[in-house]
């Protein structure tokens, strides 16, 4: 049975700035998704791909009891 292969985030054009923006919701240094409604759409598309990297970064920052900003894309209310 063929395996489903995922593309790496580098091949898709994502980098640490995108991961940071999904953690915080802000594009501090201008190297993330940007700002505005178009950025929200881009972030929603990138969330399933970058979720594991975001959760790793969030765990390293020890944010006990809180969730990264990108987790709102998992909820059905905001879908």
pLDDT of residue 1: 61
pTM, to two decimals: 0.72
Q: What digits encode the pLDDT tens for the residues 24-70?
A: 889 888 889 998 889 999 999 999 999 999 988 888 876 667 888 89
* Confidence check: pLDDT of 8 > 70: no
Nearest to 73 by CA among 57, 50, 61: 50
Q: pLDDT value at position 2?
A: 63
Query: Distance between CA 34 and CA 32 in Å, rounded?
Result: 6
Task: Give the residue from 54, 57, 64 showing the smallest Cα distance to 22.
Answer: 54
- Look-up: residue for tokens 């900003």? 69
- pLDDT recorded at residue 13: 83
């Amino acid at each position: 049975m063929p395996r489903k292969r995922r593309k790496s985030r580098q091949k898709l054009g994502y980098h640490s700035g995108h991961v940071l923006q999904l953690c915080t919701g802000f594009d501090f240094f201008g190297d993330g998704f940007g700002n505005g409604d178009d950025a929200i759409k881009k972030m929603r598309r990138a969330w399933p791909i970058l979720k594991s990297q975001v959760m790793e970064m969030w765990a390293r920052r020890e944010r006990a009891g809180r969730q990264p900003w990108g987790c709102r894309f998992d909820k059905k209310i905001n879908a």
